[in-house]
Structure 1
Amino acid sequence: MSVWLSFLLVLLCSWSLSDLVAEACTCLPIHPQDAFCNSDIVIRAKVVGKKLMKDGPFGTMRYTVKQMKMYRGFDKMPQVQYIYTETSESLCGVKLEVNKYQYLITGRVYDGKVYTGLCNLYEKWDRLTLSQRKGLNHRYHLGCGCKIKPCYYLPCFVTSKNECLWTDMLSNIGHSGSQSKHYACIRQKEGYCSWYRGWAPPDKTIINATDP
């Protein structure tokens, strides 16, 4: 009886541990503009190699990248050669394919290394909308002083003039909605922030603050 009891306890503990690890990485939705503004590094790159590094308790995956363009991070690391991530998705590690796609990759710099994970923004370049690409080049940096406020349940309200209400989650939980795909939250000349959609950054005389 004691042998079976010990076996059951070990089995239950194993289940509990696996459930804990599986649920260890939980990320809140993030608008591409926030991902841009809150990252040390934002690049367009192609993965050309990978290597498992034996550091830390579970190791780290090191991706070798060919940087096509840098959108943010010139002052921290003008040329990125390696991207580091955890080996397991349960620990927020990302899996990138070698010699297949160009990616938009955002990350943070620690001890001279660039790290990314599931809670950072990474996406195949050809899946980005034209507005998102324009945002990376021109618009997102104009809104880094604004705050994008997520709305999960109605009613939702902005509480200051520098906020834009992000309502994609009301109808696109876990998916990219219209505001994520086509809008940037930009500070206007009156000092308040509002959603902007257009083909060029707003100038000093014309403001397109069309609501999504």
Structure 2
Amino acid sequence: MDTRGILLTVVILSLFNIFEISGMCPICPDKVHPQEAFCAADFVIKATVADLTYFDDDPLTANNDPQDQYKVFVDKVYKGNVTEGCYSYVWTLRDTLPCGVGLTLDETFLISGSNDEGELIVDPCGLHVFWGNVTSHMKIGINKRYEKNCQCEVGAGRCQVDPLLNEDCYCKYATCVVFTKTGCAPECKWKQSQSFTPCLSNGNP
């Protein structure tokens, strides 16, 4: 590996310092609502995975886990400073690790994460959804509705997911949006698609 490659590896490893071998992971629920992930992200893209490069533990940097670099073709940019219609690189921790994220070669995904000086980083709290599982309701969300309603947090006393109901139904068929009524303060409530109730009835995502 040349000097530039070594320096790049050191930089990327430092970006994952919260995922050190101690086992620390981001604090996030098992299911992160796509609206939360969208609003928290620096970038959100639709991308097709073209290649994968493995980076194992580097002897120059101690206590860091191996990570993967995915080469992706950016089909669509919904948020962030990413060039559409070009190849880019997405970094993750190895998917065999507790905090790792795995993407499948030649498949298209909805991906979100952080942008650190041009390096795109994906962690378990971000979006890494197979495009075939992105519902029409979610597509409306990533195109306009999520960004317009980022002031409405899912949870935190606002739009809360009923723990007795199927969480996937909220993720795929409901968005927390601002409702206004004359003379009243704005209020955040769930906006549900027609598929929400059938989803709950069927018990399927």
Helix, strand or coil at the partner of 1:65: strand
For residues 134-155 of structure 1, the C-alpha deviation after alignment (integer angstroms, 9 at most, x for no partner) is: 11112111210112117xxxxx
Q: Contact 1:24–1:90 (CA<8 Å) still a contact in 2?
A: no
For 1:121 and 1:112, how far apart are their aligned partners in 2? 18
Tell me by how many angstroms 1:27 deviates.
3.7
Change (3 A) 1:164 1:58: closer
Match of 1:197 among 192, 195, 201: 192
- 2:72 corresponds in structure 1 to 65
For 1:91 and 1:129, how far apart are their aligned partners in 2? 27
Aligned pairs, how many?
Answer: 163
For 2:118 and 2:90, how far apart are their aligned partners in 1? 11
Q: Contact 2:37–2:125 (CA<8 Å) still a contact in 1?
A: no
Match of 2:82 among 77, 80, 87: 77
For 2:189 and 2:171, how far apart are their aligned partners in 1? 14
Q: Which amino acid aligns with 2:171?
A: S
For residues 161-204 of structure 1, the C-alpha deviation after alignment (integer angstroms, 9 at most, x for no partner) is: xx22222x3233xx51x2211111111233111111359xxxxx
Which residues of 2 match residues 138-157 of structure 1 at below 5 A?
138-149=144-155
Helix, strand or coil at the partner of 1:61: strand
Q: Contact 1:62–1:82 (CA<8 Å) still a contact in 2?
A: yes
Tell me by how many angstroms 1:92 deviates.
1.3
For 1:128 and 1:22, how far apart are their aligned partners in 2? 34
Tell me by how many angstroms 1:89 deviates.
3.7
Tell me by how many angstroms 1:23 deviates.
6.5
Helix, strand or coil at the partner of 1:63: strand
Q: Contact 2:55–2:68 (CA<8 Å) still a contact in 1?
A: yes
Q: Which amino acid aligns with 2:38?
A: F
Which residues of 2 match residues 1-212 of structure 1 at below 5 A?
24-25=24-25, 27-28=28-29, 29-53=31-55, 56=61, 57-73=64-80, 76-79=81-84, 81-99=88-106, 101-149=107-155, 158=157, 163-167=158-162, 169-172=163-166, 176=168, 178-190=169-181, 191-197=186-192
Helix, strand or coil at the partner of 1:33: helix
- 1:155 corresponds in structure 2 to none
What TM-score results when the alignment is normalised by the length of structure 1? 0.67
For residues 67-92 of structure 1, the C-alpha deviation after alignment (integer angstroms, 9 at most, x for no partner) is: 0101111xx33446000011244241
Q: Contact 1:92–1:119 (CA<8 Å) still a contact in 2?
A: no
Max Rg structure: 1
Identity of aligned residues (%): 28
Helix, strand or coil at the partner of 1:107: strand
What TM-score results when the alignment is normalised by the length of structure 2? 0.69
Tell me by how many angstroms 1:118 deviates.
1.9
- 2:13 corresponds in structure 1 to none
